[in-house]
């Protein structure tokens, strides 16, 4: 008998995404989509727009007082978001 190299479909897909350079954009998309869950319903209600540029998550808020308060928690949000996706996708969070 011969030995087979058995791999899971998940491993094959992840390896293929990594080889094609599509892994990071996929992780960035997951990170942007999870912002309301990590931030909570109150913060999500005041969030107008979120996007990633140069490893920084930009969050546009409609409430200036909330923006000021969240700016002090930037590092906490950075760690929570990176932990959720399992890799260091962003290095900072900016509120505007």
pLDDT tens digits for range 64-95: 999 999 999 999 999 999 999 888 999 999 99
pTM for this model (two decimals): 0.79
**In a 3-state reduction of DSSP, which class is residue 39?**
helix
58 forms beta bridges with 51, 94
Buried b (16+ CB within 10 A) or exposed e, 46-78: bbeebebeeeebbbebeeeebbeebeeebeebb
53 forms beta bridges with 56
What sign for the dihedral angle of Cα 17, 19, 25, 27? positive
The per-residue pLDDT for range 10-63, each reduced to its tens digit, is: 888 878 877 876 778 888 999 999 999 999 999 999 999 999 999 999 999 999
């Amino acid at each position: 008998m011969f030995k087979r190299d058995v791999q899971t479909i998940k491993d094959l897909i992840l390896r293929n995404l990594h080889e094609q350079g599509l892994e990071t954009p996929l992780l960035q998309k997951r990170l942007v989509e999870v912002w309301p869950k990590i931030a909570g319903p109150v913060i999500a209600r005041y969030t107008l727009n979120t996007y990633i540029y140069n490893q920084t998550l930009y969050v546009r808020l409609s409430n200036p007082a909330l923006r000021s308060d969240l700016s002090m928690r930037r590092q906490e949000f950075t760690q929570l978001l990176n932990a959720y996706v399992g890799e260091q996708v962003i290095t900072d969070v900016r509120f505007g």
